[in-house]
């Protein structure tokens, strides 16, 4: 047991006569480790991209809600009346009448 550990530490399993099969495993595990590291980096990039896009969506949604609120305030009848008074236009005191048009289609 002590001799095997010593041989591993010296690296004799890499230079012995049947070392080719050991090198195949070493290369396979090295390639597998590189693939796992690359996959991990790719997943991290995607997580950061998702977080960035979520923040962007929150900002755009807040901007949209702010704009919609301003629009609703501008469309309020009291606001329209006050804006028209500044220009000298007052609301009508006579209620509107419905106009009916009879069409003559033949």
pLDDT, tens only, 22-63: 788 889 999 999 999 999 999 999 999 999 999 999 999 999
**DSSP notation for 44-72:** HHHHHHHHHHHHHHHHHHHHHHHHHHHHH
pTM of the complete model: 0.56
pLDDT, tens only, 60-97: 999 999 999 999 999 998 898 888 988 988 888 898 89
* Residue 15 pLDDT greater than 80, yes or no: no
* Residue 102 pLDDT greater than 90, yes or no: no
Where residue 106 falls among pLDDT bands split at 50, 70, 90? low
Structure confidence at residue 57 (pLDDT): 98
Distance CA 21, CA 13 (A): 10
Cα pseudo-dihedral 59, 60, 66, 71, rounded to 10:
170
């Amino acid at each position: 047991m002590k001799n095997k550990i010593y041989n591993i530490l010296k690296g004799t399993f890499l230079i012995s006569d049947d070392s080719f099969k050991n090198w195949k495993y070493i290369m396979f595990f090295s390639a597998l480790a590189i693939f796992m590291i690359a996959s991990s980096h790719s997943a991290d990039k995607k997580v950061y991209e998702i977080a960035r896009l979520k923040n962007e969506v929150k900002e755009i949604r807040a901007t949209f809600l702010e704009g919609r609120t301003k629009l609703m305030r501008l469309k309020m009848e009291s606001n329209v009346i006050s804006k028209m008074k500044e220009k000298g236009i007052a609301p009508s005191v006579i209620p509107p009448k419905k106009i009916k048009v009879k069409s003559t289609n033949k």
